[in-house]
Amino acid sequence: MSDKAKVFITGMGVITPVGNTVGEMWANIKSGVSGIGRITKFDPERVDSKVSGEVKNFDISQYVDQKEARRMALFTQYALAAAKQAWQDAGLADSGTDPERVSVMVGNGIGGTEVDMEAYRVLFERGPGRLSPMMIPKLIANEAAGNISIALNAKGAAHTIVTACASGTDALGVALDMIRSGRADVVVAGGTEATVTEYCVGGFCAMKALSTKYNDTPEKSSRPFDANRDGFVMGEGGAILILESEAHAKARNARVYAELAGYGASGDAYHLTAPDPEASGAIRAIKLALKDAGLAPEDIDYVNAHGTSTPLNDPMETKAVKAVFGEHAFKLKMSSTKSMTGHLLGAAGAVEAVICALAVKEGFYPPTINNENPDPVCDLDVVPNKGVEGAIRAAISTSLGFGGHNGVLVIKAV
């Protein structure tokens, strides 16, 4: 058992391709509903991958007036909406919490890509004198954390973590450490991303990273651990969790979803975009997270895999889980909810942390949909196609990003 101070998850908010509230998202995840479709945010004719997990029916006016919204890039809007949901869910508005003891920690991979695109158009067509004075404040990655801090009157540290696909997970891990160290009582933490633009999709297509085989059947395009997978599917959205010290949560009689019990991180030191095929970095990160949580491998019942549906990631991640868990790897369940949401890049780890917290709380293993022709190399129980009920004592969530950034969380039942 760990002797570290406990940190609880007491509030959650999401904007995702499968729902714009925690309840809606979780119901769709449990039912195996795909949020992936043909790209509608731009005409995809010029890009090879024509599918994405887009946020649907998002109305920022529910959270902030339109004048303020126009001063925010979409990634900031998603984060702010999720943060306001989570703040309300945690019941912190009238809790008397000292604002100087509330920090903000948000992961983001790229920033305001639609702002970038428009700025380049203006620059090339009309010159630098016609650039918007709001261009820089909208596009830089830290603006999500800054806007959340302002909106919630959170006067502690407000930081941004940028570690590609591990950003949301790393933000939660750093937030965990902040509370344990006594630097904050509450941290508003998570991740956000809005990259369904021709600029970003085109860039990832140039890398040959995205799925192109299923343009005519978009809901089939994200298929982690399936032999016919051919790349990841771009997603977008945001997720924010409220983390609290045990003492602070108990003092105000807060409702608790789960305990954020451990965090581990490592660098592959291998390649800018490809994962280490030996999985050494992923293995280290998982082991570090378990050690941080004071848990043995046999204490883990569920792994929410990074599971990107790429040819390289899924076998590597299977290898990592086998290396860490040994024979227990064949007893636990490991699914990839990216099969339904797509890959939300910097927001992925935060969305998946919310899913893990709900899985642990409710005793439900989410499915990996589209697992129609299982890859024999990926031979663990990936909860194929249909979720199942069952007690979960503890879960891990893995995020393995470009640049060799590996982040792993341990989420434990309370």
Residue 234 belongs to domain with CATH number: 3.40.47.10
Are 13 and 109 part of one and the same domain? yes
Residue of 18, 81, 14 lying closest to 369 (CA atoms): 18
Are 237 and 270 part of one and the same domain? no
Number of domains in the chain: 2
Q: Pick the range with the lowest mean pLDDT from 2-16, 31-45, 170-184.
A: 2-16
Contact status, residue 381 vs residue 330, Cβ threshold 8 Å: yes
Q: What angle do CA 94, 100, 101 make, to 5 degrees?
A: 80
Are 213 and 342 part of one and the same domain? no
Confidence band for 365, pLDDT divided at 50, 70 and 90: very high
List the catalytic residues.
165, 306, 343
Give the range of the structural domain holding residue 399, as residue numbers without chain letter: 263-412
Which of 207, 232, 258 finishes a domain? Answer: 258
The reply to whether the predicted model has a pTM over 0.95 is yes
For residue range 299-332, what is the model confidence (pLDDT) as tens digits? 999 999 999 999 999 999 999 999 999 999 999 9
High-pLDDT (> 70) share of the chain, %:
100
